[in-house]
Amino acid sequence: MRIIAGTARGRRIFSVSKNLPVKPISDRMKQSLFDILRPRVPGAKMLDLFAGTGSVSLEALSRGALKAVMVDREPACIKNIHRNLAHLGFEDRARVLKGDILKPLDWLLAYSDNDGYDIIFMGPPYRDSNNKMLSFSQPSLKNVADARLLAPKGIVVIQTHKTEQFDIPASLEVFRTEKYGDTLVRFLRASQSEK
């Protein structure tokens, strides 16, 4: 895995053990994602939930994001993200936090200076360590919505398996969906009917 563009273009990103239920975003999907996000990234405050390797946040920092807050519950992922931040020289613009995204997330608002996040990226695992399908998207999205973590005009990007079914909280609406093989990437914003 490498950084695709920006100040760290071409630099390597360290991965985690294949024994962990972490599926890093593919370079093709990451390129497409950042083609879509390009105008939003410079100066953005980013929240990366289920951060895994930190690849998405590291790409955002390379492309000019103001700060990235990365959350994962797996100690090996947290250690690896710190390694990547040091390797790329992004430590001063990032926070790496241990937390369970399936529990209330109100505590994360303070890390955005209480303004909310411009981009929230979520890549819940598709399967657990026993290869059993999971359904983390719905509770995770609900926790993000309940904690009011989205800045005005901010967006949530959620990557899921194409077969995962879930309801979108009333305060959010999908405005774009992209398909990559067995993966769907949905782009959400504050519901227009809520304004």
Residue type at position 139 = P
Four-residue CA torsion sign, 146, 148, 153, 159: negative
What pLDDT, in 10s, does the model give residues 139-150? 999 999 999 999
Of the two residues 40 and 195, the one the predictor is more confident about is 40
Range name among 47-61, 79-93, 114-128 with the lowest pLDDT average: 114-128
| Average pLDDT estimate for 121-138 | 74
CB 95 within 8 A of CB 69: yes
Q: Which residues contact 181 (CB under 8 A, 6 or more apart)?
A: none
The Cα angle at residue 135 between residues 129 and 140, in degrees rounded to 5: 110
If you write DSSP's letter for every residue of 80-110 in order, what string do you get? HHHHHHHHHT-GGGEEEEE--TTS--GGGGG
Q: What is the domain partition of the chain in residue ranges? A: 34-194
Beta bridge partners of 49: 71, 122
Q: Determine the topology of domain 34-194 in CATH.
A: Rossmann fold (3.40.50)
Share of the chain above pLDDT 70, in %: 90
Answer left, alpha or beta for residue 6, where phi above 0 means left and psi between -120 and 50 means alpha. Answer: left
Q: Give the three-state DSSP class for 67.
A: strand
Number of H helices, E strands in the chain: 4, 7
Residue 72's pLDDT is what? 94
65 closest CA partner among 124, 114, 6, 22? 6
Cα–Cα distance, 189 to 144 (Å, whole number):
12
Dig out the tokens for 93 from the structure: 């613009």
CB 16 within 8 A of CB 30: no
For the chain, give the mean pLDDT.
90
Range name among 45-49, 103-107, 129-133, 187-191 with the lowest pLDDT average: 129-133
